[in-house]
Amino acid sequence: MLLLVDLDGVVYRSTEAVPGVASVLAARAAAGDDVVYVTNNATAYHADYVPRLAGHGAPVGPDRVVTSARASAQWIRDQLPSVRRVLAVGTSGLERELREAGFDVVSVGHAATRMNQEGIDGWAAAGHPDVVVVGLDPQMSYLRVAAAADCVRAGAVLIATNRDPVFPVEAGLRPGAGAVVAAVATASRTEPRAVIGKPGPYLLELGARTVGADVRRGVMIGDAMSDIAAGKAVGARTILMLTGVTSRAAADALAGDDRPTRVAEDAAGLEAALGELAAGGRD
C-alpha cells in the first residue's frame, strides 16, 4: 500500500514522538508499503525532516517528505512553466525549495527593506516577480504585506502554500500561513490562484508521484479533518488518528461523507486499521 502520512499530531507532537507510531510505519515499510510524509508546514526544507524522523525510528528518506513549500515549487513548474522570478513570503525553507526548483527567488524581507530605504513600491523593490508564494512568515510586518500586495496588484500570480489559520505550539495556538495569506489577499484584493496544501488534492498527488504510485490506492493517515478531506479528494482511503487535534467526541459526531474509513485511538489502533485495509477493507 501507499501510506500518505501527516507529521505533527501523527508521528510526533511538537518535539515528542507519538508512542509506537514510528514502529508501526517501519513495520509496514519492511512489509513492502511505500511511506510518504505529506505536511502543510512550509517553513522547513524537506530534507531537514529526515534526521528528526529517523531519530524517532520512522522509515524516511529525503524523497519521501513532501511539504507544501516543496509542492508549491513543483506546482509552479507544472502549471506556470514560463515563470522565472518568485517573491517568497515565508521562511528560508520556502526560499530554498523555490531556488532548488530553478527559480530566481527574492525574499519579501529584502523587498520590504528596499521599499523603506529607497522609497519605491514593492513591485520595483522585488524586481518585478512573476509569482508571489505565501507561507507562514514569523517575521510578518506591515511593509512585508505591502511589498507582496504591490506585486500581486501589478500582475504577479498569488499562490498560497496552505490556508491553515493557526498551528499548535506547547503554549497554545499561533497564527498559521492562512493568516499571512489573508493579509496579502485582503491588501491586494486578490484571492490566490491556487492553494497547494491540504485539504486540496495536490500535496497527496505529488506524494504519490514521488514513488510512482496511484494515489487512489493510497491511505491518508492524519489527525485533522483537512487530512481526511484531502484523502477523499483524491479517492484514497483514510485513517483519522486521535493523537492530535481531533477528539473522540468530534470523530463520533462525523456523519456521511465526512467520516474517515477508519478511526485509530493510538499506534495499536493504527496497526489494526492498516492490517484491515491491507486485507482489502474499504468501508
- Write out the catalytic residue numbers: 6, 8
Q: What is the CA radius of gyration of the chain?
A: 19
User: Residues with Cβ < 8 Å from 97, sequence gap 6 or more?
Assistant: 45, 46, 67, 69, 70, 72, 73
User: Residues with Cβ < 8 Å from 245, sequence gap 6 or more?
Assistant: 9, 168, 223, 224
Check if the beta carbon of residue 214 is closer than 8 Å to that of residue 2.
Answer: yes
Report the candidate in 33, 60, 34, 29 with the shortest Cα–Cα distance to residue 47. 60
DSSP strand pairing (172-175 vs 131-134): unpaired
Phi, psi values for residue 148, rounded to 5°: -65, -45
Phi, psi values for residue 258, rounded to 5°: -80, -15
User: Residues with Cβ < 8 Å from 48, sequence gap 6 or more?
Assistant: 93
- For the four alpha carbons of 206, 13, 244 and 219, in that order, the dihedral sign comes to positive
Residues in the chain: 283
